[in-house]
Amino acid sequence: MFALSVARRYLLSNPAQTGLLISGVALGVMAFVFITALIQGLAIRLTDDVTANSAHVSLEPPTRVARVLPSPDADVESTAIVSTFQRRQIRAWSSTVALLRSETSVSAISPQISGSAFLVKGEAVAPVAVTAIDPLGLDAISPISTEIVSGDSGLGADGILIGVRLAENLGLSAGQPVLFRTDRGVDRLLIVRGIFQTGLQSLDERVAYLSIQTARPLFLLPEGVTNIEVKLVDPARAREFAAFMAEATGLRATSWQQKNANLEGALAAQAQTGTLIQIFSLISVLIGIASALSLSANRRRGEVGIMRAFGVSKRFIAAVFVLQGLLIGMVGASLGCVGGFALCSWLATMTKPDGTTALPIAPNEGGYVAVFLLTTLGAVLASVIPARSAARLDPLEAIQQ
Amino acid sequence: MSAVLDARGIGMTFRNGDELTEVLKGVDLKLEPGELAALLGASGSGKSTLLSIVGLLLRPTLGTIIIGGQHVEGLSELERAQFRNQRLGFIFQFHHLLPDFTATENVAFPAAAPAGGITPAMRSRARELLVRVGLSDRMDFPATRLSGGQKQRVAIARALMNKPDLVLADEPTGSLDRVAAEQVLDLMREVNREDKTTFLICTHDEHVAARCTRRVTLKDGRVEGVLASQ
Ligand SMILES: Nc1ncnc2c1ncn2[C@@H]1O[C@H](COP(=O)(O)OP(=O)(O)OP(=O)(O)O)[C@@H](O)[C@H]1O
Ligand SMILES: [Mg+2]
């Protein structure tokens, strides 16, 4: 197409100016890519952090009112309600576990007894949230054994694992005994087998792990469990899976998304901010293209006039300017995508002094296809105004100037 | 053989707000094939205006124009552009070459734009024309690196590219020195003689007019010595 080679010639006729214009477009596209990759990266990291160290679906007994009526062993339960001493529990947990095992989407299952207790060391008393689990499945939900900083993760019959801050507060170290007092008023001397550090203050200060066998007499639960924690192969499907389990078992099933509703809100707000920045970077790119082409169309009035006098069609003239916009958009967007990817990849390798990555940026999530298409399309639209004004030029006026 | 140009009763009145300027008051002009006509007249007498009207760059307020046997009043804007492209050639006082193209490309442009590209045939015709205007050693020069006289010769070659019936030249030597003007004039005379291409050359220059085959003088909005048709 001849208009294309004219457009190319026009762009190459002033390499410095064209280079500057293309750099401007590329920078705008890089800003778009950067913000997209950063926001995607943040979302991925936050989601990963949450899903890596916590259950994806938690199963608990339903509220009592809901449970009493349909329960097959209604007699036992109705007496149980009367006793405030009786905890809510899942009695038929082994059938639930069997059901979970048969589901291929489930990657880990952890039946637990969760409860509250106090650790007493001399004068010092500290409340703890107790998670009692099968020692063989210690790492099923979060990798506790990798977070042990002192002692080891072997629980045994009288062992307890506590967080590093709790250990500090009570002046405890691995191997030392500590008095364990449950909210049922049962006391037992346990040995601190290991001290873990997750980096999360609330966990390191408040959580303790026991073997489920040790916990049964302490929490007066000879058979049942209080909750079953489940991990899925694909955490994104937790909501559906929770609904399915609730339906299938009558238990209360909570997905990690439901537990972290504020996280979802934060991610949505973040995405909105990102969209705003994306829109502004695109608009500035398009304004740049439109104004550069308007200047060029104005500078070339005489030439356009003579072309029109020679009978070159308005469409041809318009095409020359629209194609300039298209070329600038495509080249600028390509360079911007390459540059943006390089920038994001470089930023992703940057580490803080402690070795963790400084920016949670996801170089592969820069929205490259979207920004390329939007910039190219936008560039064409931005060139329509200068193209029309060039095409509408009265040849006589332009020549006589 | 029919006339190349038959313009009758051309009237042109410019309107600027409430002010009307009647520049042409019934111009009759007929050009036979092979004529080399000089269009003379005082400054402001309407020479350029008439040339633009005949060149289909301006619509007259009155009158009919037949070029090469075809009435042009009824043509649409696009058809007028095509007509200019195929039947007319233009030479202006300021060459208006495309600065980003070589001499050859400039000459080929009127053929290349509607065809979608410069074909080898176009290129060789452009080169022949450049040889003819004496620029065989400047064919691949960018337009910006040519002298004023050379540029005007390229402009002449460009006007001839599509083998027009009529070439319209507005002060073609107006911005050239004596020697360059002489060369350009000789060139137009030669093309006129050899190809029987019809020229209408608008000029102030008696010297130019003297070497044309015919003189047409505009005065008071009419062609001098010719009675206006009603
Ligand atoms: N667009 C226009 N609007 C109003 N008046 C115009 C317009 N174009 C030309 N004129 C007027 O028409 C008259 C003739 O102009 P034209 O350019 O045809 O003269 P000319 O004979 O070519 O003069 P010169 O020899 O100086 O080039 C002038 O008085 C000019 O002011
Ligand atoms: Mg004039």
DSSP output for A266-326 = HHHHHHHHHHHHHHHHHHHHHHHHHHHHHHHHHHTHHHHHHHHHTT--HHHHHHHHHHHHH
B112 closest CB neighbour out of A2, A13, A302: A2
Ligand located closest to B50 CA: 1
Which tokens belong to A133? 């689990």
> Is B46 touching A (CB cutoff 8 A)?
no
Class of domain A108-225: mainly beta
Output the CA–CA distances (angstroms, integers) from residue A206 to A119, A162, A209, in the order listed. 10, 8, 10
Chain B nearest C-alpha distance from A26 (Å): 26
Output the CA–CA distances (angstroms, integers) from residue A290 to A25, A46, A59, A333, A383, in the order listed. 11, 40, 59, 15, 5
Closest by CA position to B66, among listed B29, B25, B110, B35: B29
**C-alpha B212 – ligand 1 centre gap (Å):** 24
Across A122-158, the runs of DSSP E, i.e. the strands, are 124-133, 148-151
> Is B109 touching A (CB cutoff 8 A)?
yes
Please name the residues in contact with A270: beta carbons below 8 A apart, sequence gap of 6 or more. A39, A42, A43
Among B21, B27, B168, residue to substitute to test ligand 1 (most atoms within 8 Å of Cβ): B21
Q: Which residues of A touch B119 (CB under 8 A)?
A: none
Chain B nearest C-alpha distance from A317 (Å): 10
Report the percentage of chain B scoring pLDDT > 90: 36
**Domains of chain B by range and CATH?**
35-59+77-228 (3.40.50.300)
Ligand located closest to B23 CA: 1
A307 closest CB neighbour out of B99, B113, B118: B113
pLDDT, tens digit (0-9, with 9 covering 90-100), for B215-225: 889 888 888 86
For B64-90, what is the mean pLDDT? 90
SS3 letters across B3-25: CCEEEEEEEEEEEECCEEEEEEE
| Dihedral sign of CA atoms B101, B163, B57, B72 in order | negative
Q: Domain residues of chain A, as ranges?
A: 2-50+264-400, 108-225
**C-alpha B47 – ligand 2 centre gap (Å):** 6
Nearest CA in chain A to B89: A310
pLDDT, tens digit (0-9, with 9 covering 90-100), for B83-115: 999 999 999 888 688 999 999 999 999 999 888
> Is B199 touching A (CB cutoff 8 A)?
no
Encoded amino acid at B133, one letter: V
> From chain A, which residues contact B within 8 Å (Cβ)?
1-2, 5, 9-10, 12-13, 302-303, 305-314, 316, 395-396, 399-400
> Is B81 touching A (CB cutoff 8 A)?
yes
What is the ipTM, given to two decimal places? 0.89
Decide: residue A185, CB within 10 A, 0-12 exposed, 13-18 middle, 19+ buried: exposed
pLDDT, tens digit (0-9, with 9 covering 90-100), for A113-126: 999 999 999 888 99
CB contact under 8 Å between A303 and B114, yes or no, is no
- pLDDT of B230 over the 50 cut: no
> Is B113 touching A (CB cutoff 8 A)?
yes
Mean pLDDT in order along chain A per 10 residues (401 residues) = 90 92 94 92 86 89 53 46 57 89 91 92 91 89 89 88 93 92 87 91 91 91 91 90 91 89 85 90 91 91 90 92 95 96 92 81 90 94 93 84 65
- pLDDT of B1 over the 70 cut: no
**C-alpha A288 – ligand 2 centre gap (Å):** 39
A396 closest CB neighbour out of B52, B98, B100: B52
Q: What is the rounded CA–CA span in Å between residue B35 and residue B199?
A: 6
Quickly count: other Cβ atoms within 10 Å of residue A356's Cβ. Answer: 9
> pTM of the entire structure?
0.77
Ligand 1: residues whose CB is within 6 Å?
A: B 14, 16, 21, 23, 41, 43-49, 204
CB contact under 8 Å between B90 and A309, yes or no, is yes
CB contact under 8 Å between A399 and B78, yes or no, is no
Nearest CA in chain A to B112: A2
Chain B nearest C-alpha distance from A273 (Å): 45
Q: What is the rounded CA–CA span in Å between residue B61 and residue B171?
A: 24
The pLDDT mean for chain B works out to: 88
Q: What is the rounded CA–CA span in Å between residue B210 and residue B206?
A: 6
Quickly count: other Cβ atoms within 10 Å of residue B66's Cβ. Answer: 17
Output the CA–CA distances (angstroms, integers) from residue B187 to A183, A370, B32, B150, in the order listed. 114, 58, 20, 12
CB B102 within 8 A of CB B109: no
Q: What is the rounded CA–CA span in Å between residue A239 and residue A54?
A: 15
Please name the residues in contact with A279: beta carbons below 8 A apart, sequence gap of 6 or more. none
**C-alpha B204 – ligand 1 centre gap (Å):** 14
Which pLDDT value is given to residue B178? Answer: 84
Q: How many residues does chain B have?
A: 230
Closest ligand 1 atom number to CA of residue B49: 18
